[in-house]
Structures are given as C-alpha cells and as structure tokens.
Amino acid sequence: MNMWRTFRALFLQQKTRMEGVVVPDNIRCVQCGICSYNCPIGIDVRRYAWWGKPIRDSHCVTCGECVARCPRGVLRFEVLEQTLSSG
Ligand code: SF4
Ligand code: SF4
C-alpha cells in the first residue's frame, strides 16, 4: 500500500466526538487549591489550572464542583471535539 492510501485509510478510520471538559483561565488563578480540595474524585484541579490545560482525566465525572467552588471564576465547562480512532 502506498503512502497516500495509508493516510487515506487512517483518515477514514478517524471519528470525532464532543466531550464536556473543565477548562481553566490560568491568568486568574491564585493557586488556593479550593478546587482540588472539593473534587470528590481527588483530581488535582489546581495543577491543571497552573498548567492552563483542560482537565482531561478519565476519572472526572463532570460534577461541576470545582467550577462552582472556585472563588476566582477561573474554571468553566467547554465542549471540545475529541478525535477517536476506530483502528
Ligand atoms: S479554586 Fe480557582 S483560584 Fe483556587 S486553585 Fe482552583 S482554579 Fe485556582
Ligand atoms: S468536574 Fe467534578 S470530578 Fe471533574 S475535576 Fe471538577 S470536581 Fe473533579
């Protein structure tokens, strides 16, 4: 199989799905740790806020506790597209 056919086959196997994730606005974060303290799963949300990265942890149940408890309004839910591969 040539290179083009290989890429095409991989492209056709890819699917996307929408997922709700918690996203931080790290400029506003004061690293108080209230979010991590209140996460029922024990995810270190504060660290994600420090990194400025969405919380992509398979254990997150999207309960919204961290979003609600943050005193600085750093955290919000966003719907992001995730690429899945069926192969
Ligand atoms: S509760 Fe808000 S301000 Fe405090 S560490 Fe978490 S994201 Fe940062
Ligand atoms: S949404 Fe709930 S489970 Fe997910 S990180 Fe925030 S507090 Fe933890």
Is the CB of 21 inside a 6 Å radius of any atom of ligand 2?
A: no
> Residue 55 pairs with which residues in a beta bridge?
none
Band of the pLDDT at 85, cuts 50, 70, 90? Answer: low
For the CA of 31, the nearest atom of ligand 1: 5
Band of the pLDDT at 12, cuts 50, 70, 90? Answer: low
State the pLDDT at residue 87.
47
The Cα–Cα gap between 39 and 31 comes to: 15
pLDDT digits (tens, 9 = 90+) for 24-83: 999 999 999 999 999 999 999 999 999 999 999 999 999 999 999 999 999 999 988 766
Is the CB of 62 inside a 6 Å radius of any atom of ligand 2?
A: yes
Sequence-distant (6+) residues with CB within 8 A of 3 are none
φ and ψ of 72, to 5 deg? -105, 0
Is the CB of 22 inside a 6 Å radius of any atom of ligand 2?
A: yes
- Whether the pLDDT of residue 2 is over 80: the answer is no
Q: Does domain 15-85 fall into CATH 3.80.30.20?
A: no
Tell me the CA–centroid distance for residue 48 and ligand 1, in Å: 10
Is the CB of 72 inside a 6 Å radius of any atom of ligand 1?
A: yes
State the pLDDT at residue 86.
52
